[in-house]
Amino acid sequence: MMDASTTDKAAGEARSMQNIRFPSPKVKKGMPRAQIIANTHRVQPGDTVNVILTRGKVASTAIVASLRNFYKRTTLVYHLHFFGDAKKLLHGKKLLPRQILGDALYKRYMRYKNVLNWKFITGIRDPVGQYISLDFQNKFKTHGYNAKRLGKLIANNPQEDFLDRYFTDEKMGFYWGDVPFDKEKGYSILSKDNTSLLIYRYDKLETIFTEAVEKFLGIPDLVLERVYATSQKEIQFKGRTISDCYQQAKRELTVPSDIAEEIYSNKSITHFYTPDEIRRLMTRWTDRFIYAIGPHEAQDTELYLKKGFRVVAVDANPAVIEEAAAQFGKQIADGQLVLVNTRIAGHDDGSGAEASTLLSIVRQYGHPYYIKMHSEGHDEIALGSVLGAGIRPKYITVKNGNAMLTPLYEAGYAQFRWAPQNAVPHTIPGRQAGEGACREHSVPPGAADPFDGEPAGDWLSYEDARSEAAQIRVPETDANAPVHDDPVHGCFDLHARF
């Protein structure tokens, strides 16, 4: 038989389980600790507690707003970036209000995790894009945009193991990495006993939110709310808006290859992204700008964007630029594509457009990984400004580039490939990578053959390339050779690899 003290203790424990109280989910800057941890909300055994626990800038505020508007205070929805024992994890640092709340809620979780239903939601995002967004959120109002500071932030902060800090066997009863992530859908659900976790990818949130929330919480047809969209754009520093500076950062920021390798080889990335998606992200942020001079109908530009490159497309015709702007609005907004309406100095196309040297454009936007010249004349003058400054892209393509073969060889280019445009159109299989990410793509008539030998093409020495060209054009004059047959030999591209 139990003694009286044991019986009283059991009865008291039972009463406490019927009278569970939680702190308010809403905290404000400067709120005193006593007010934050005050037990103002009553819950019953079997009730649900929702905890959105993420690093910043993964649309967690929008998720919280959507759930709170649905529940109308009938169910608790917490928004946290910290969840744990503050004394152990923060080592005596002064706590922010939301950290105080995270400490208090963690203690309730450890006590009541078997009698309440705990629903955790966390998001994953491309870490470089996340670093940029966090820097603008935390520093722009007081420091504006500083490319060097942002670059140091990324270099000195390898991918934080946020998931390993919170979603572990010790805390949740399961480890976030034990269950394969559905990379195609963009979300997965893990559960054990009364604790469940929804992990989503930020880049797919808008398309999967309604489905994922219905499966996870049983809420049908819930739409993700938009928050801060207007007010954030109006923030300024020294006359420049946060929106303009943010777009500039996404256009020009580059990450050293070794840092990118460290970031994107982390398990918290490889678990959620396919190898091809990781390759595309690395291509996006490392120093790999493509300059498309004369994009025409943007067939080539489309391929470069698919493969993850950042592209600077230059054309003297405003109509070409307008069409590209309409076609690639998302990539422009994301900083992946820049359109420049100018004439390349040394080439007069009769448009009357203002002229710029290719060198001045390169110095404005960044070191070229590849330059594609389809400006229909005087390419040697345009490229000469870049090569004369000691700049050597890994790849160069020149249309009908027989006259450029020797200058490129003298500039240090050792491998060449002729690509007759009568070999176009063709389709690049999605399984072939070449440079950048694997993307199936149809190369239409008029487009350049892919610069990196995709589909596979033989790279020639200078001597072999000169000998092959001499069969159809006279090297000294660039005139057609007697055997030249325009429908057969027609236009061609000269690819050069450094």
Query: Domain ranges in the chain?
Result: 17-233, 287-497
Cβ atoms within 10 Å, residue 221: 7
pLDDT in tens, 288-315: 789 999 876 677 888 888 888 889 999 9
Q: Are 366 and 254 in contact (CB under 8 A)?
A: yes
Give 83-92 contacts, CB < 8 A, sequence gap 24+.
83/51, 83/53, 83/109, 83/166, 84/165, 84/166, 84/171, 89/165
Q: pTM to 2 decimals?
A: 0.73
User: Would you state the CATH architecture of domain 287-497?
Assistant: 3-Layer(aba) Sandwich (3.40)
pLDDT in tens, 409-423: 999 999 998 877 655
Hey, what's the torsion of the CAs at 230, 236, 240, 242, to 10 degrees?
Answer: -50
Give 167-171 contacts, CB < 8 A, sequence gap 24+.
167/120, 167/122, 167/197, 171/84
459 residue type, one letter: W
Cβ atoms within 10 Å, residue 361: 22
pLDDT in tens, the chain (498 residues): 445 554 544 444 445 566 788 999 988 888 888 999 887 888 999 999 999 999 999 999 999 999 999 999 899 999 999 999 888 777 767 888 989 999 999 999 999 999 999 999 999 999 999 989 988 888 888 888 887 788 777 877 655 678 998 999 988 999 999 899 999 999 999 999 999 999 999 999 999 999 999 999 999 999 999 876 445 667 888 888 888 888 888 877 888 888 888 889 999 899 999 998 998 888 888 867 899 998 766 778 888 888 888 899 999 889 999 999 999 999 998 889 999 999 888 655 566 667 888 999 998 888 898 999 876 656 778 898 899 998 999 899 988 767 888 899 999 999 998 877 655 554 454 434 456 665 565 665 555 556 655 544 678 999 998 888 776 665 555 566 655 555 555 577 889 998
Q: Any idea how long the chain is?
A: 498
Give the DSSP letter string of 426-485: EEE-TT--SSSS---EEE-TTSPPPTT-SS----B-HHHHHHHHHTTB-TTT-PBPTT--
Q: What is the structure's pLDDT at 86?
A: 84
First to last CA, the chain: 88
Q: How far is CA 435 from CA 223, 279, 370, 378, 454, in A?
A: 39, 10, 11, 28, 8
Task: Please tell me the number of Cα atoms within 13 Å of 360 on its side-chain side.
Answer: 8
- Helix or strand or coil: residue 230? helix
Q: Are 382 and 293 in contact (CB under 8 A)?
A: yes
Task: Please tell me the number of Cα atoms within 13 Å of 429 on its side-chain side.
Answer: 4
Q: How far is CA 311 from CA 18, 213, 290, 347, 380, in A?
A: 62, 37, 5, 21, 21
Q: Are 237 and 145 in contact (CB under 8 A)?
A: yes
Q: Are 311 and 338 in contact (CB under 8 A)?
A: yes
Please give the distance of CA 163 from its chain centroid, rounded to a whole number: 19
Q: What is the structure's pLDDT at 429?
A: 47
Task: Please tell me the number of Cα atoms within 13 Å of 277 on its side-chain side.
Answer: 14
Q: What is the structure's pLDDT at 468?
A: 80
The two most distant CA atoms of the chain are separated, in Å, by 113
